[in-house]
Amino acid sequence: MTTHAEACTFQRVSDARSTQFPLGAAITLEQLEAEPYDTLAALRTHEPVSWLPALSGWFVTTRELAVEVMRNANTYTVDDERFTTAAVLGPSMLSVDGSEHNRHRLPFAPAFRPAVLREQFEEFLSTEARRLVMQLAPAGAAELRTTVAGPLAVSAIAEFLGLVDVSHDDILAWYSGIASAIVALTTGHTIADEDATAVLELRRQIDNTLQHGANDSLLRQVQADGRLHAEEVTSAAAVLMFGAIETAEGMTANALAHLLSRPDVIAQVRSDRSAIAAVIEESLRLEPAAAFVDRYATTSAPLGGVTIPAGELVTVSLLAANRDPAVFDRPDDFVLNRSNVRQHVAFVQGPHACIGPHLARLETNAAIEAVINCLDDITLDPASTTPASGLIFRKPHRVQAQWSARSVR
């Protein structure tokens, strides 16, 4: 329990920091959630490491410093009781460091190799994406985030993990509960009862798969590997499910919005399907599905001219790092075939780099190919499409598209 004296000391320190970092002190969570680009640019220029009372932590906005934090797990760790994902889903590769991190991550790593994913899932994803798009075709219009991006992400992770006796609606309900719970803890609120129930239901389903799933399913294979006990496999599967749905849905929705709002880019993709990869990477750079990641300082450490005290929160803005003009020319513009686009940090860097970027890319590629191949004259409806938003996870609420019935094939 925090004493009155400790609370007063913290307030004095926070007040002093707010004076030293006036830009950070003025930022609200609402600014970070809606259209934060100008705010992030100002921070990057004037306070690249700033104190944000809204987050009760330090905020990093340049790519160079972001990479420094993400790669140095000895100084900036995820292994802290305040780490919100661990608080919701339990310890996993996402929330431990060092040898424990390797123990949690390595049993899953072989399944995420590009060649393995292409062989086992490329055809499945292509078929599923086409099925979803063709279901929409007769209507001549649809909102693509909830009808293509989301369902494809759910199908992919259910197939990947080998889940049994589970519906798409169940998975989406669990996913929504996890997302709400993480956002609640991040913003200082209590997890709602219905979100806590969703997390419990997900864990029960994963336990069911471990007991009754196919012997060659990923979860059964990891269980048989023996490095993780059942509770740890369950936590890892929950993390993978949440991360896969959140990242892939947002990534696909953002990419479709960027593509369909640019007729010249659509034309390039129609003439050369290999351009889809460039669309995906530039979309990831402009609007990463995860806006920031958290770390905790294990010791007092210098960072960008600021000394971070031990134990304090350091939040890395992936969104700001991806638009750093020191790295990317015309950082706020969509530039197809940008020469250094792979320098984006949308999938994080260092030991906690996302384990599933190749699967996410395959999903988004399949969705774009299905839309382009099946609907010849598809265009975005800008009046009904919303810009990407979200404090932690960013995606458009609506990606509304339209096409003529004669264009369906």
Pull the structure tokens for residue 253: 């929705």
Cα distances from 56 to residues 78, 170, 192, in angstroms, run 16, 35, 22
Higher pLDDT, residue 377 or 175: 377
- pLDDT for res 12: 66
Say which range, 166-180, 298-312, 364-378, has the weakest mean pLDDT. 166-180
What does the pLDDT look like over 186-233, one tens digit per residue? 778 899 999 999 888 888 888 888 888 888 888 889 988 989 988 889
- pLDDT for res 188: 83
Helix count and strand count (H, E) for the chain: 18, 12
Confidence of residue 150 (pLDDT cuts 50, 70, 90): very high
Say which range, 32-46, 107-121, 221-235, 369-383, has the weakest mean pLDDT. 221-235
- pLDDT for res 6: 45
Helix axes 263-271, 230-260, angle to 10 degrees: 110
Higher pLDDT, residue 65 or 12: 65
- pLDDT for res 9: 52
Query: Environment class of residue 115 by beta-carbon count within 10 Å: exposed (0-12), middle (13-18) or buried (19+)?
Result: exposed
- Residue 13 CB neighbours (<10 A): 12
| Residues above pLDDT 70, as percent of the chain | 96
Cα distances from 370 to residues 43, 337, 363, in angstroms, run 40, 21, 11
> Does residue 407 carry a pLDDT above 60?
yes
Mean pLDDT of the chain: 92
Give the integer Cα–Cα distance in Å for 83 and 384.
Answer: 36
What does the pLDDT look like over 390-405, one tens digit per residue? 998 999 999 999 999 7
Say which range, 35-39, 94-98, 243-247, has the weakest mean pLDDT. 243-247
What does the pLDDT look like over 50-72, one tens digit per residue? 999 999 999 999 999 999 999 99
- pLDDT for res 374: 95
Query: Which long-range contacts (C-beta less than 8 Å, at least 24 apart) are formed by 116-120?
Result: 117/358, 117/359, 117/362, 118/362
Domain ranges of the chain: 4-407
Q: Does an H or E element contain 143, and which?
A: strand 141-143
> Does residue 13 carry a pLDDT above 80?
no
Kindly report the CATH number that applies to the domain delimited by 4-407: 1.10.630.10
Q: What would the DSSP string read from start to end of 43-69?
A: HHHH-SEEEETTTTEEEE-SHHHHHHH
pTM of the complete model beyond 0.85: yes
CB 346 within 8 A of CB 285: yes
Give the integer Cα–Cα distance in Å for 11 and 23.
Answer: 18
Say how far residue 279 (Cα) sits from the centre of its chain.
18
Q: What's the average model confidence in pLDDT over 356-381?
A: 96
CB 25 within 8 A of CB 283: no
- Residue 119 CB neighbours (<10 A): 10
* 3-state secondary structure at position 294: strand
> Does residue 409 carry a pLDDT above 80?
no
Give the integer Cα–Cα distance in Å for 155 and 385.
Answer: 24
What does the pLDDT look like over 244-256, one tens digit per residue? 888 899 999 999 9
Higher pLDDT, residue 168 or 72: 72
| Residues above pLDDT 90, as percent of the chain | 72
Q: What's the average model confidence in pLDDT over 151-165?
A: 89
Say which range, 76-90, 128-142, 147-161, 377-391, has the weakest mean pLDDT. 76-90
* 3-state secondary structure at position 334: coil
- pLDDT for res 4: 47
> Does residue 406 carry a pLDDT above 70?
no
